[in-house]
């Protein structure tokens, strides 16, 4: 429940938001609080990247700000242009700050910061199920402590992950599940680090690769394109947690699980293109791609030519 001071502050903010939009002759956008609530809803399947994680862009007005708590962890990144916000930390303590594009803020589950926009703003918000984040945290070699409210974080790694996820959501083709899981889990782990103060470095910082027999078993499963190739399934196959599996797989192969799997699929595509009797649609389905266009786009990106051009180059 919001305290009286908080409610009065946000009522004033909401009123200012609507008045400001009307004064400029611009249609009133969805309030930030409503947007975050919708993004955090278990029914927000259209905005979900993978189970437990949703991401969406938002444009807000002057005076807007969160007014209620959420049971999700919210990571916010400024986009498009710089904007100014006021944050209230006490009855008479107010401070303004500028959020540059790419700057991040973290709102832990159960918190409602007294933040109000002093200008129009645009952002990308990513909502994480708290249970998912807790599970990933328990898999870390050195689990982080409780997340704390953070504003105006500059972190190139998290910014890049947010950008890649947003690009995947806006893409006309469905983002591969393993790739989406890899990005969202990497961002969640990064968020855990950002939400806590740095810890003393560990004396053992090396990462060992997967044992050969385990790696061989995982790769054999990766060759079965119609099987469950989610990050959870591959990690279970290895016997390690998701966090450790990704690190150990990269240490053993030099690639992320997603990139390795993609290379396997494209190698299979090249083999099947030698058979003129197989259509491109059949090849795409056989190799585990969501569509012919999805396969063609990735094939051209990785190989340099389209599948059709590659097939023509094989003719004597």
Task: Summarize the confidence of residues 221-248 as an average pLDDT.
Answer: 91
Q: Between the CA atoms of 70, 76, 82 and 86, what dihedral angle is there, to the nearest 10 degrees?
A: 30
What is the greatest pairwise CA distance in the chain? 81
**Predicted local distance difference test score (pLDDT) of residue 16:** 39
- Which band of pLDDT confidence, cut at 50, 70 and 90, is reported for residue 47? low
Boundary (domain end) residue, out of 126, 154, 182:
154
**Predicted local distance difference test score (pLDDT) of residue 48:** 66
pLDDT at 151 over 70: yes
Task: Summarize the confidence of residues 125-133 as an average pLDDT.
Answer: 89
Q: Are residues 128 and 94 part of one domain?
A: yes
Q: Are residues 309 and 234 part of one domain?
A: no
Q: Are residues 135 and 15 part of one domain?
A: yes
Could you give the angle at which helices 212-222 and 257-272 cross, rounded to 10 degrees? 50
- Which band of pLDDT confidence, cut at 50, 70 and 90, is reported for residue 20? very low
Among the residue ranges 77-91, 111-125, 164-178, the one predicted with the least confidence is: 164-178
- Which band of pLDDT confidence, cut at 50, 70 and 90, is reported for residue 118? confident
CATH of the domain at 39: 2.60.120.10
Q: Are residues 221 and 148 part of one domain?
A: no
Q: Is position 190 within any domain?
A: no
pLDDT at 204 over 70: no
Q: Are residues 266 and 237 part of one domain?
A: no
Q: Is position 195 within any domain?
A: no
**Predicted local distance difference test score (pLDDT) of residue 87:** 80
Task: Summarize the confidence of residues 124-152 as an average pLDDT.
Answer: 86
Report the distance separating Cα 83 and Cα 188, nearest Å.
25
Q: Are residues 238 and 294 part of one domain?
A: no
Domain count, the chain: 3
Q: Are residues 283 and 216 part of one domain?
A: no
pLDDT at 37 over 60: yes
Helix runs in the chain, H state only: 4-23, 32-40, 130-139, 156-170, 177-194, 212-222, 231-238, 242-253, 257-272, 280-286, 292-303, 307-313
**Predicted local distance difference test score (pLDDT) of residue 264:** 93
Boundary (domain end) residue, out of 138, 154, 170:
154
Q: Is position 125 within any domain?
A: yes
Q: Is position 163 within any domain?
A: no
Q: Are residues 227 and 129 part of one domain?
A: no
**Global pTM exceeds 0.75:** no
Q: Is position 270 within any domain?
A: yes
CATH of the domain at 276: 1.10.10.60
Q: Is position 131 within any domain?
A: yes
Task: Summarize the confidence of residues 79-106 as an average pLDDT.
Answer: 79
**Predicted local distance difference test score (pLDDT) of residue 207:** 56
Strands (E) across 41-149 are located at: 48-50, 53-60, 72-78, 83-88, 94-99, 104-107, 114-117, 121-129
Hey, which residues does 162 pair with through a beta bridge?
none
**Which residues lie below 8 Å from residue 179, measured CB to CB, with a gap of 6+?**
168, 258, 262
**Predicted local distance difference test score (pLDDT) of residue 282:** 94
Q: Are residues 148 and 239 part of one domain?
A: no
The residue among 215 and 15 whose pLDDT is bigger is 215
pLDDT at 89 over 70: no
Residues 244-296 have pLDDT tens digits of: 899 889 888 888 899 899 999 999 999 999 999 999 999 999 999 988 899 99
Q: Are residues 223 and 118 part of one domain?
A: no
Could you give the angle at which helices 130-139 and 177-194 cross, rounded to 10 degrees? 80
- Residue 102 DSSP class: T
**Predicted local distance difference test score (pLDDT) of residue 308:** 92
Contact 184, 53 (CB under 8 A): yes
Q: Are residues 34 and 89 part of one domain?
A: yes
The residue among 199 and 254 whose pLDDT is bigger is 254
Give the number of other Cβ atoms within 10 Å of residue 27's Cβ: 7
Segments forming the whole domain that contains residue 88:
4-154
Task: Summarize the confidence of residues 114-136 as an average pLDDT.
Answer: 89
């Amino acid at each position: 429940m919001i305290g009286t001071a908080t409610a009065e502050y946000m009522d004033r903010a909401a009123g200012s938001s609507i008045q400001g939009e009307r004064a400029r002759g611009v249609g009133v956008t969805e309030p930030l609080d409503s947007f975050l609530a919708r993004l955090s809803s278990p029914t927000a399947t259209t905005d979900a990247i993978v189970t437990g994680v949703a991401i969406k862009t938002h444009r807000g007005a002057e005076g807007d700000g969160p007014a209620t708590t959420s049971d999700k962890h919210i990571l916010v990144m400024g986009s498009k242009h710089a904007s100014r916000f006021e944050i209230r930390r006490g009855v008479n303590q107010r401070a303004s700050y500028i959020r540059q594009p790419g700057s991040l803020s973290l709102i832990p589950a159960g918190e409602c910061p007294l933040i109000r926009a002093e200008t129009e703003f645009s952002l990308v918000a990513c909502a994480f199920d708290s249970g998912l984040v807790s599970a990933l945290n328990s898999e870390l070699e050195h689990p982080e402590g409780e997340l704390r409210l953070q504003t105006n974080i500059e972190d190139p790694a998290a910014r890049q992950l947010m950008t890649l996820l947003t690009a995947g959501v806006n893409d006309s083709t469905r983002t591969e599940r393993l790739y989406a899981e890899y990005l969202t889990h990497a961002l969640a782990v990064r968020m855990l680090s950002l939400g806590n103060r740095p810890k003393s470095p560990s004396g053992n910082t090396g990462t060992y690769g997967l044992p050969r027999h385990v790696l061989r078993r995982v790769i054999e499963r990766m060759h079965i394109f119609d099987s469950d190739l989610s990050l959870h399934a591959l990690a279970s196959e290895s016997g390690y947690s998701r966090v450790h599996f990704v690190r150990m797989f990269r240490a053993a192969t030099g690639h992320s699980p997603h990139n390795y799997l993609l290379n396997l699929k494209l190698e299979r595509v090249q083999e099947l293109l030698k058979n003129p009797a197989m259509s491109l649609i059949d090849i795409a389905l056989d190799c585990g791609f969501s569509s012919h266009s999805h396969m063609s786009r990735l094939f051209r990106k990785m190989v340099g030519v389209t599948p059709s051009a590659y097939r023509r180059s094989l003719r004597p």
